[in-house]
């Protein structure tokens, strides 16, 4: 049975991913933040949750090492943990940038590093990072400078990982969604046209497809999931 790690498993996208992988007979380990108040309503013998502070490099490393000691190998990692903040250059301090860097880049890098090390030993694996339109093109980041800068590093990280893994069956993809249709986004943007937003379940299906044999020939994909945006 293939296995996946999904970070941020209690989030809307995280739970959609957990369900998608479980429905396709994968074993899934989901990470949740310490003191997470969101309940994951998923009951499956092949699903386990672990509390991990991904801002803590040592905690992330220990989590991966303990999981590998038990399961041996990992086939896929999907990183969904992150955060958002508004702010233009006039009211964005380096402290604000550092906070977004920790939320969006450090939480990704700290889990990717030990997983990538394991995949290099296996010589196979799939890693998925969640990017953003502002991170992809700074012209989309007006008014959200700290967020955009932190997300831009996700794309550079994927490029570096794919370069380092050349010659092995290890691929890092960046998934770039438009606005995701979640209760939280609907509440914060009640006048928006929800029909143009992308469903978490659809993003999960796209990500899982890239773990299948049909997608095995793809390399270094940038996956834009924009729906009608």
Return the CATH number at 9: 3.40.50.720
pLDDT tens across 179-207, in order? 898 988 899 889 899 989 999 999 999 99
Determine the number of helices (DSSP H) and then strands (DSSP E) in the chain: 8, 7
| pTM over cut 0.85 | yes
> What spatial distance separates the first Cα and last Cα of the chain, rounded to whole Å?
37
Residue 209, domain extent: 3-225
pLDDT tens across 56-92, in order? 999 999 999 999 998 889 999 999 999 999 999 999 9
Number of domains, the chain:
1
């Amino acid at each position: 049975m293939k296995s996946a790690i999904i970070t941020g498993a209690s989030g809307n996208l995280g739970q959609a991913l957990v369900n998608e992988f479980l429905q396709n007979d994968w074993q899934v380990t989901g990470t949740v933040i310490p003191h997470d108040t969101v309940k994951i309503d998923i009951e499956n013998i092949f699903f386990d949750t672990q509390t991990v502070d991904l801002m803590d490099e040592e905690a992330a490393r220990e989590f991966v090492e303990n999981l590998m000691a038990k399961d041996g190998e990992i086939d896929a990692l999907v990183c969904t943990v992150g955060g958002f903040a508004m702010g233009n250059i006039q009211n964005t301090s380096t402290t604000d940038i550092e906070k977004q860097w920790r939320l969006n880049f450090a939480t990704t890098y700290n889990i990717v590093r030990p997983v990538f090390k394991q995949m290099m030993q296996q010589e196979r694996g799939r890693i998925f990072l969640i990017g953003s339109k502002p991170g992809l093109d700074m012209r989309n980041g007006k008014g959200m400078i700290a967020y955009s800068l932190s997300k831009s590093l996700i794309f550079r990280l994927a490029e570096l990982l794919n370069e380092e893994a050349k010659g092995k069956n290890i691929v890092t993809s960046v998934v770039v969604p438009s606005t995701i249709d979640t209760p939280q986004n609907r509440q914060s943007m009640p006048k928006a046209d929800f029909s143009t937003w992308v469903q978490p379940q659809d993003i999960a299906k796209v990500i899982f497809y890239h773990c299948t044999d049909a997608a095995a020939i793809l390399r270094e994909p940038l996956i834009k999931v924009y729906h009608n945006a």
